[in-house]
Amino acid sequence: MLSLEAHNRTPILQNLMKPSNLFFVLLFLLIGCQKENKLTFEPYLVEAEACDNCTKISISLPKAIDESKLARTINTALREEVISFLHFDDESDISDIDTAIKSFKSGFLELQERYEDETTPWEAKIDSEITFEDSHLLTIALDAYIFTGGAHGYTSNRFLNFDKIKGQELENWQLFKDSIAFQNLAERKFRTKENIPQDKPINYTGFMFEQDSFYLPENMGFTKKGMKLLYNQYEVSSFADGTIELVLPHAEIKKYLAKKPKS
């Protein structure tokens, strides 16, 4: 004979095991697991002291605080990108952001001492955003504006893609299982977006692809809408054209990818 406690539990278990209810239980557990797989970040912010003739520096990064290989990989990759933007002294070996900031400031001070009042303060602004994350992929976009004198500054966009399962940063070639087919699709879409006839050379309307042949950009990353392809200034066009972007929807590219994003 069932005890009173067991007797009271039996209808509940039977109700949960009904097919319709079991579906929602499994869905709830699946959503819970996906949320648990999300990384935890805290903001890393740097703001240089403001003054009329000082170097202006502003940095905003997501810092992964989980105790994992993936968190260390992400933080290392972001740190190296910031250093590459700010590192002005090619002869010194810089391994942290604070030293890179000092290098950037020193570069301006040296120029200022040489030309006195003829120099405009340098500026560095680096922002970041997590543009995509699912159970096995993470993409972070870095947007940087660097001014070190001259007529204008330089804007650079960078995508960092990570394999969350292996805890590794992904190179572009690792994103695809069929990169040639993906490139062919990208070229057709690029021509359509930029009004380049399919039967004409890729530089027909004024682009500057080397050897007049289409190629994928150095920067590609996932967003909620699909994969974004970014050609930075001067990469395939003039400075005045700015950044050239192309977004390919998830549904159209998933068959070419090594890992299919869950949009």
| pLDDT per position as a tens digit, 207-225 | 999 999 999 999 999 999 9
- Confidence (pLDDT) at 152: 85
Compute the average pLDDT of residues 35-53: 80
How many angstroms separate the CA atoms of 96 and 98, rounded? 6
Q: Which of the residue ranges 39-43, 49-53, 57-61, 205-209 would you say has the lowest mean pLDDT?
A: 49-53
Compute the average pLDDT of residues 18-39: 50
Which of 187, 138, 185, 186 lies closest to 159, judged by CA?
Answer: 138
What proportions of the chain, in percent to the nearest 5, are helix, strand and coil? 40, 25, 35
Whole-model pTM: value is 0.82
Do 171-263 and 38-170 have the same topology in CATH? no
**Where do the domains of the chain lie?**
38-170, 171-263
Highest CATH level, class, for 171-263: alpha beta
Q: What's the angle, vertex CA 32, arms to CA 28 and CA 37, rounded to 5?
A: 150
Which CATH architecture best describes the domain 38-170?
2-Layer Sandwich (3.30)
Question: Could you tell me which residue, 30 or 210, shows the higher pLDDT?
Answer: 210
- Confidence (pLDDT) at 48: 77
Query: What is the DSSP code (8-state) at residue 182?
Result: H
Compute the average pLDDT of residues 8-20: 50
- Confidence (pLDDT) at 9: 46
- Confidence (pLDDT) at 226: 96
**Of all residues in the chain, what percent carry a pLDDT higher than 70?**
83
CA dihedral for 91, 92, 95, 98, sign (positive or negative): negative
Task: Spell 198-236 as b/e; 16+ CB within 10 A means b.
Answer: eeeebbeeebebeeeebebbebbbbbeebbbbbbbbebb
The CA distances from residue 20 to 17, 28, 30, 32, 148, in Å, are 8, 13, 16, 19, 64
- Confidence (pLDDT) at 118: 62
Compute the average pLDDT of residues 84-88: 85
Band (31; pLDDT cuts 50, 70, 90): very low
The side-by-side arrangement of strands in the sheet containing 226-231 is 219-222, 226-231, 244-249
DSSP string, 38-80: S--EEEEEEEPPP-TTS-EEEEEEEEE-SSSHHHHHHHHHHHH
Place of tokens 């909620």: 224
- Confidence (pLDDT) at 15: 52
Average pLDDT, the chain: 86
pLDDT tens digits, one per residue of 104-146: 988 888 888 887 666 788 999 999 999 999 999 999 999 999 9
